[in-house]
Amino acid sequence: MVDELAEYGADRVIVVDDPKLKEYRTEPYTQALAAVINEYKPEVFIIGATAIGRDLGPRVSARVGTGLTADCTQLDIGDYPLVAIAGREQKHNQLLMTRPAFGGNTIATIACPENRPQMATVRPGVMQKKERVAGAKAEVIDFDAKLEENDKYVEILKIVKNTKTTEDIMAAKILVSGGRGVGSAENFKILKELADALCGCKLSRAVVDAGWMPKDIQVGQTGKTVRPHLYFAIGISGAIQHCRYGRSEYMLLIRMRMHLSLLLQIMVL
């Protein structure tokens, strides 16, 4: 893993090797990351917005006394406030963290000018992957976090792995996405036929809430972030994350007032 991290741009890799970290548990992992932050005092600390990252990020930020901006869709370095205000200091080289707000109806840019590190979680697929440089090397630092068990530690009694396999929609080049406007689980069968022909299907939160389709192929503010070349948005209300998150090269929007016959025509073509 160290070689892979180095080839993707890491200059230093800090390794915390402790038996308490064999399986993910919130408290020892929080202790480990907080210890690393307190020792090396980074300006910026970014965590992947995975299931583990969403559990870990807020606890680490609270432990080290800083803020956290979750589920960022864009990160920039700039001035804060964005526009100079008379009588107020404008700080430079701040991490500007952009994310959906108010239920996805707007986009907010957030800064943490007073506390360090500036922390954010970012979903897999939001940022473009850096070109891999074969043979690149990184300095490896073995760090002793001095983990201590306390009453927050939990004992893992059993791990049951999910044996269900699902197509990785994050790797698909063409995706068909349906929302509540599709109308019913029966109508989703037509979308599924189109998706099978074009190689990908996803859906909005409303469809999951209605019980029509499973959550593991949900996209949007509460689902996955994807980057297909072509994106069909069918019967979706137009929430901002479906326009901003996908970053598709081409997008086709279909209102269900146009009837499902249009989908059949597309399938014939």
**Residue 122, H or E segment:** strand 118-122
Residues in Cβ contact with 108 at an 8 Å cutoff, skipping those fewer than 6 apart:
98, 99, 100, 101
The answer to whether the beta carbons of residues 96 and 78 sit under 8 Å apart is yes
17-22 contacts, C-beta under 8 A, 24 or more apart: 17/142, 18/145, 18/147, 20/147, 20/149, 21/147
* Residue 79 C-beta-side C-alpha neighbours within 13 Å: 8
Alpha-carbon distance of 37 to 44, in angstroms, equals 10
Residue type, 234: I
Binding residues: 180, 204-205, 218-222, 235-242
Alpha-carbon distance of 48 to 242, in angstroms, equals 20
Binding residues for FAD: 180, 204-205, 218-222, 235-242
